[in-house]
Structures are given as structure tokens and as C-alpha cells.
Chains A and B, each alone.
Chain A
């Protein structure tokens, strides 16, 4: 495909509007979760394997450094979920206009961070 569209890829000078930030974080959080698939599979299989395996998995998850990673993964899941719901709603034709799209983008961004902090406070 050949087009003459202007291309601007200077990452340090691109200023994304909030919906753009939510969009790129939707991708980042998705990649984080894809990378975690083998790790969570191993943890799941180990925890299910035997009482000893469960204890080993629980000890691994209890490690402070692992807890920090889990907090990031909790944010990734929540951001991906909230942003995903926003996209499904936009697909249905609701909230497409710019002021509403910006408001819902802020809600997704703040909501995911807020719930991450609440859940993190409960579990850590």
C-alpha cells in the first residue's frame, strides 16, 4: 500500500491526548499479561500438584519482590479490563464524541490506579 500521509514518529515530541494514553497502556498491559502466561501457568500447575507444591507456590507469591510484580500485574489486568469495557461501549456507538471520550479515558486511567491501590492495600 502506498500513501503520501505525513509520518511523525519522534517519540519524545509526540504529545498523546488522554484517549491515546489509555490506548497505548491497553497495549502495554496486554503485553505484560502475555509475558506472564507461562509464569502463571507454572504457578497454577505447581499449586495444584500437591500440598508441598501449594506451599512452594504460596512462598513464591509471598516474596516482597514478587508481590511488587503482582501489584503491577493487578494494574495491568484492571487497566486492560476497564479500557476494554470502554472500547466495547465505544463499538456500540456510545461515548464517541471527543468530550465524552476524554472523560471516560480519564475514568479508566484513574479507576484502574485507584482499584489497584485498594486491592494492593487489602492483599499486601
Chain B
């Protein structure tokens, strides 16, 4: 990709991930508003069903990629000192990595328990 189009990949990633988040996120929100799981067993049943589980496993990296492109844009606009920007982006990267792996772990443990 040419230097002048260096932002194009992030632009495409942001839009493709947005479509998945809008669709699956709306499903999750509607399910939570109209049929919230009443107890632990109901939550585990719902979340570890084959389709919801797969949808959530896909959601985690897709959501983090979308959040990453967005927060990176913000730091590029508002955080000009390069040292501060690298530090902030590093913190966010580790926070996202830890959150994502934690959520995946919780899902898999609930599935095999």
C-alpha cells in the first residue's frame, strides 16, 4: 500500500468491524433488555450455547480492533508529544490484550465446567 494510502487499512477495518458490532451488539442488547438471564445457570446456558459462544468469541477481537483504531485516532489528534502517545497506546494495548484474554478464558471455563 502506498504511503499516501497508509490510513486506508484502518479506515476499512473500522467500517467492517462496525457492521459486525452493530449486528451482534444489537442482538446482545435486545436479549439483555427483553430476556435477561435470571441466574447463573441461565447465563451459562445462554452464553455457552454454540452460536452465542461463537458470536462472542468473534466479538472480542472484533470489538478490540474497533476500539483500538478509534482510540489511536484520538491519541493521534489530541496527544501530540510522541513519548506520551507511545506510552498511552502501550497502556491501552496491554489493557485490551488482558481484557480480551480474560473474557475468552471466562467463556471457555464456563463452557467446560
Q: Which residues of A contact B (CB under 8 A)?
A: 27, 30-31, 33-34, 37-38, 41-42, 44-45, 47-51, 53-55, 77, 81, 84-85, 88, 91, 119, 122-123
Contact status B67-A88, CB under 8 Å: no
Partner of A91, one of B15, B40, B96, B99: B15
CB–CB B43/A47 < 8 A: yes
* Chain B positions within 8 Å of A45 at CB level: 102-103, 105-106
Chain B contacts for A77, CB-based, 8 A: 25, 29
Q: A33-B67, A49-B106, A81-B25 are in contact. Are A38 and B99 (CB under 8 A)?
A: yes
When distances are taken between beta carbons in the complex, the residues of chain B under 8 Å from A44 are 103, 106
Question: Which chain A residues lie closer than 8 Å to B41 at the CB level?
Answer: 51
Assuming the contacts A44-B103, A54-B40, asked whether A122 and B70 have C-beta atoms less than 8 A apart, the reply is no
**Do A48 and B15 touch across chains, with their CB atoms under 8 A apart?**
no
B110 close to A48 (CB less than 8 A): yes
Of the candidates A37, A81, A123, the one whose C-beta lies within 8 Å of that of B67 is: A37
Interface of B is mostly: helix
Count A-B contacts at CB 8 Å: 69
A-B contacts, 5 listed (Cβ < 8 Å): A44-B103, A48-B44, A49-B106, A88-B15, A119-B33
In the complex, which residues of chain A have a beta carbon less than 8 angstroms from the beta carbon of B95? Answer: 37-38
Residue total for B at the interface (Cβ-Cβ under 8 A): 32
Does chain A have a CB within 8 A of B18? yes
- Expressed in whole angstroms, the minimum distance between the Cβ of B105 and any Cβ of chain A is 8
Closest to A78 in B: B29
Residues on B with C-beta less than 8 A from A85 are 22
Cross-chain contact A51 with B110 (CB below 8 angstroms): no
Q: Do A51 and B102 form a contact, CB below 8 Å, given A34-B67, A37-B67, A81-B26?
A: no
The 8 closest A-B pairs by CB, nearest first: A54-B40, A45-B106, A51-B40, A41-B99, A48-B110, A48-B106, A30-B70, A34-B67
| Residues 56-113 of B contacting A (Cβ, < 8 Å) | 64, 67, 70-71, 74, 92, 95-96, 98-100, 102-103, 105-107, 109-110
